[in-house]
Amino acid sequence: MGLLSDPVRRRALARLVLRLNAPLCVLSYVAGIAWFLALVFPPLTQRTYMSENAMGSTMVEEQFAGGDRARAFARDFAAHRKKSGALPVAWLERTMRSVGLEVYTQSFSRKLPFPDETHERYMVSGTNVYGILRAPRAASTESLVLTVPCGSDSTNSQAVGLLLALAAHFRGQIYWAKDIVFLVTEHDLLGTEAWLEAYHDVNVTGMQSSPLQGRAGAIQAAVALELSSDVVTSLDVAVEGLNGQLPNLDLLNLFQTFCQKGGLLCTLQGKLQPQDWTSLDGPLQGLQTLLLMVLRQASGRPHGSHGLFLRYRVEALTLRGINSFRQYKYDLVAVGKALEGMFRKLNHLLERLHQSFFLYLLPGLSRFVSIGLYMPAVGFLLLVLGLKALELWMQLHEAGMGLEEPGGAPGPSVPLPPSQGVGLASLVAPLLISQAMGLALYVLPVLGQHVATQHFPVAEAEAVVLTLLAIYAAGLALPHNTHRVISTQAPDRGWMALKLVALIYLALQLGCIALTNFSLGFLLATTMVPTAALAKPHGPRTLYAALLVLTSPAATLLGSLFLWRELQEAPLSLAEGWQLFLAALAQGVLEHHTYGALLFPLLSLGLYPCWLLFWNVLFWK
């Protein structure tokens, strides 16, 4: 405490911090990036293991042999669907009843905030069909779900056929202690969301749906199945859910266990798993998989029907059958046995999955990185903001207080004239105007779409995207508006105070985001932190302005799309990347209003106004 209470020592400490601030910031940023890249190397990446005792002690013997029956169901389903042009509800009801299930239907409708040009829909209405297999050995207090999403442009007939064949096989077994729900949803995620809201008796998205006539117990786990062929070369698993949520790691371990037992080739992010982690090739391949997961999780999109179950505390994942040019092929029997083994193991659960990790990163199916090991990466990046904020605070403090005469007696410092002080009132105008721009970015695109279509030859979706871009670009004129309404007694120190507030604001936002969605927080910190630390109204302003634009939230999204396709070995041209960027903007707004995805409000109401503050600092007059 003596170091802080003694004015001379405190001033010496301040000079030391100011002198070493720049190298410390560079070192901290490099350490954060290096720590993230090192996550794919042992011992930071660990082998996965089963934590739930009820699922890891013994294996089960799978008896499913209904491959021919599954293919017959799939052919009939495809024929009836082609004939009716929609989900064959009557045929599904009749077939589910024939295998011994309690069958119910649910109708739903949803008016989207603007037309979804990707799926060519605006007024959406459909019907979900589900059958319940009651547990013969227990009351209907717990249940498992096997779901197949059917969209207007998806070919998922084989998955429906396998679902019906598994239902017929499960019906003949007597060891079930949990109800099993076999769910076929229409319109992909919209049907899944309608069924989940009705099942849990909530309405969080404005979905109009009929109440469910039949219910099972509390859902313990769910598996979504997507197959596009009678044979598969591998099963790809998707774990990223809505707003970056992840299922319990034990559910993923269970899937990998039965894939290994049945000889099925399983992939993550469409990538084969590294076999040798001791050489450099294994970690480099794991880094590609890790980056793909980070990009998908940062998007906040549900990458499969399982992503909506996670919001209701239901552990779930999506399995996709891939049919490529690989040598080994697997039929529906192999996939059915893997699903049977998973459901029989989940049937043993005495409580919800909770013993393993909920927050993790995956460089491979057999390797994971826990939260305690990857959080230091974003911590080092946020330390840069803290160091710059400390430097500005010390500069403002030294400027506001007089310096003692060298060798003079210690005593209270003499304050400088009031003209050198910094009033908090000078910060109100830029803060309010920046937040107002963010609010306009969030509200006006959807509200003003009809006005735009009346005056310009554009569709509703195009009007939303163009309004987004127009408001976003209008923020660049912000400094020319705010500096005129600022009344400050210390214009030389005003930008320092504003940058101090902006640094603290950005650090708090990125810290909170990283706690709930590490991938999003790390990506934004990687791009925004360096330019936030460099922004100042002196020096090469043109260079700083270019860097600030290139690291803005919109530019980060655009760069992430190019990186995503590069990692998928399908690079984009500039024109293709721009079109994909515009489509991503429309989908982000649509998914926020439809499913409650939080990426759009986070960027528009939080990070965009904060970025405008740094833009204001750069052009401070």
Q: Is the pLDDT of residue 486 over 60?
A: no
Whole-number pLDDT of residue 420: 45
Whole-number pLDDT of residue 376: 95
More reliable by pLDDT, 485 or 556: 556
Same domain, 309 and 453: no
pLDDT tens-digit readout, 389-418: 988 888 887 765 543 333 444 444 434 444
Same domain, 320 and 185: yes
pLDDT tens-digit readout, 96-155: 999 999 999 999 999 888 887 776 678 889 999 999 999 887 788 899 999 999 987 667
C-alpha 350 chain-centroid distance: 30
**378 belongs to a structural domain:** no
Average pLDDT over residues 78-89: 89
Residue 122 in tokens: 């605006």
Q: Is the pLDDT of residue 491 over 90?
A: no
Whole-number pLDDT of residue 480: 55
Name which of 15-19, 205-209, 258-262 the model is least confident about. Answer: 15-19
Q: Please say which residue of 351, 384, 412 terminates a domain.
A: 351
Beta-strand pair 266-268/234-238: parallel
**286 belongs to a structural domain:** no
Average pLDDT over residues 472-485: 70
Beta-strand pair 234-238/208-209: unpaired
Split at pLDDT 50, 70, 90, the class of 94 is very high
DSSP type of residue 270? T
Q: Is the pLDDT of residue 603 over 60?
A: yes
179: three-class secondary structure by DSSP: strand
Domain extent at residue 483: 424-619
Q: Is the pLDDT of residue 264 over 50?
A: yes
112, exposed or middle or buried, with CB in 10 Å at 0-12, 13-18, 19+?
middle
**64 belongs to a structural domain:** no
**376 belongs to a structural domain:** no
Most confident of 55-59, 374-378, 399-403, 415-419: 374-378
**Averaged pLDDT of the chain:** 86
- Domain count for the chain: 2
Q: Is the pLDDT of residue 315 over 50?
A: yes
Same domain, 521 and 602: yes
Distance CA 215, CA 233 (A): 36
The CATH code of the domain that includes 340 is: 3.40.630.10
